[in-house]
Amino acid sequence: MKKVVTLALILAVGIAFTACGGQSMGGQVKGDTFVTEGWVTPDIFRVTSVGVPKPGLTNKIQRQGTAKEAALIMAEKRIIEKFVGARLEGAAGAADYASTGIAVAKEFSGVVKGGTIVRSTYDKDDNCEIVYQIERKGLRSSVEGGATK
């Protein structure tokens, strides 16, 4: 079931980004510079993700709520994937990459779940784009250097 939902979400995001015409999401507010992806400081990491409303809902508030929740889940997933990838690159001699990935996911799951949405926007179809931020002292060195708790 999760695979079906994930596939549907990925397809919807792809359609949202490639559809012709209409209001586009994202972009830059005039005069405002804002880091939306990557390391902001050695303690702060951000990702951008998009979520779509649950099919069948007609209430605008419910549609936007489910879209924001989907975007949040995708943001958390993207951060874990990026951190696991960084740690695996650092552990080039590791015998069991799957175990390393699971350990990294467990190590960072608390900080990832404790992140905040620093910006959210909706398009005319109630799709939601968020900028999700996590923060922890020494986060970058923990991710890239392989330091554990």
Q: Which of 74, 48, 70 is nearest to 131 (CA)?
A: 48
Residue 54 and residue 85: Cα distance in Å, rounded? 30
**pLDDT, tens only, 14-51:** 555 444 444 444 544 444 567 889 999 999 999 999 99
Predicted pLDDT of residue 23: 45
Element (H, E) at 79: helix 60-90
- How many angstroms separate the Cα of 107 from the Cα of each of 88, 140, 141? 14, 13, 14
Asked which of 15-19, 54-58, 80-84 is least confident by mean pLDDT, the reply is: 15-19
Contacts of 82 (CB under 8 A, 6+ apart): 47
Kindly tell me if the per-residue pLDDT of 94 is higher than 70. no
The band of 97, judged by pLDDT with boundaries at 50, 70 and 90, is very low
- Pairwise pLDDT comparison (10 vs 59), residue with the higher score: 59
The band of 56, judged by pLDDT with boundaries at 50, 70 and 90, is very high
Contacts of 135 (CB under 8 A, 6+ apart): 43, 44, 45, 111, 115
